[in-house]
Amino acid sequence: MAERVDVCIVGSGFGGSISAFRLAELYHAAGVDSKRILVLVRQSMYIGHLANVYNLIQSSGGPGTLLASGPQGCQVVTANAVGGGSNLYLAASLRSPYETFERRDHNPDDGPDRRMWPDQISRKSLNPYYARAERGLRVNRPSWNRVSKSGGLWAATLHAAGHTCDRVPVAIDPGRCVEAKWCHTGCIFGAKNTLNTNYLASAELLGVRVRPNRQLPLRGDRRPHGQRGL
């Protein structure tokens, strides 16, 4: 049976989950039912565990929870489950350094020397949005007593040489972390703040519907504006 919705978001990774939540916020503020927002996901919920992670990886032709693809000599593993790539990352949450946005294009074939990023985009202009995302993902900086001895020694060595070294901000709950080192493929202790625990969960609380185990085949050629039809 056909179903009409206002917004259909394909995928529940960072882009899909955050978009769903922000739209739901706007709907809620306007007094509109957020059930009119639908998120479609290729696979179901991913319960990460190192013991079975290799059984979850399928080739590019299969419907695995983890999808392995890529050219010869290079393999890229992506997550298809609810929460997308947040199921398959180390939760390290770094802001791009200031120098990243000041890079210039020195290729004479591209015309005059110019800044590669638009003038309106800089680390300073993005800082408020970085902070907003960090709050949403519940990013924190671990205390030094949670840093390994080798990490502490490395930091002390750099400090003695006149350099700075600090702890990497992570989207991990320090109160639940048991140092199992399973952050990448999934944390069975629930310490890793995947999108299922923040943005996507918040979107669902506002009424957004998430439909797992849905696939949308692509049809036709690329459209003039660069997107393919579903």
Q: Where are the domains of the chain?
A: 1-90+194-215
Predicted pLDDT at 72: 74
CA–centroid distance for 138 within its chain: 13
Predicted pLDDT at 223: 55
Q: 82, 197 in Cβ contact below 8 A?
A: no
pLDDT tens, position by position, 26-56: 999 999 999 999 999 988 776 655 445 555 6
Instruction: Provide the angle, in degrees to the nearest 10, between the axes of the packed helices 123-137 and 14-29.
Output: 80
pLDDT tens over the chain, length 230 residues: 678 899 999 999 999 999 999 999 999 999 999 999 999 998 877 665 544 555 565 544 455 666 777 677 777 777 778 898 898 888 999 999 999 999 888 776 766 778 889 999 999 999 999 999 999 999 999 999 988 899 999 999 999 999 999 999 999 999 999 888 878 877 888 899 999 999 999 999 999 999 998 887 766 655 555 444 44
What CA–CA distance (Å, rounded) separates 24 from 17? 11
Q: 85, 79 in Cβ contact below 8 A?
A: yes
What CA–CA distance (Å, rounded) separates 189 from 33? 34
**Beta-carbon contacts of residue 203 (< 8 Å; ≥ 6 apart):** 17, 20, 21, 24, 34, 37, 39, 210
What CA–CA distance (Å, rounded) separates 115 from 175? 43
pLDDT tens, position by position, 7-33: 999 999 999 999 999 999 999 999 999
Exposure string (b/e) for 129-162, b if CB count within 10 Å is 16 or more? eeeebeebbebbeeeeeebeeeeeeebeeeeeee
Distances (CA, A) of 85 to 16, 88, 150, 185: 11, 5, 29, 10
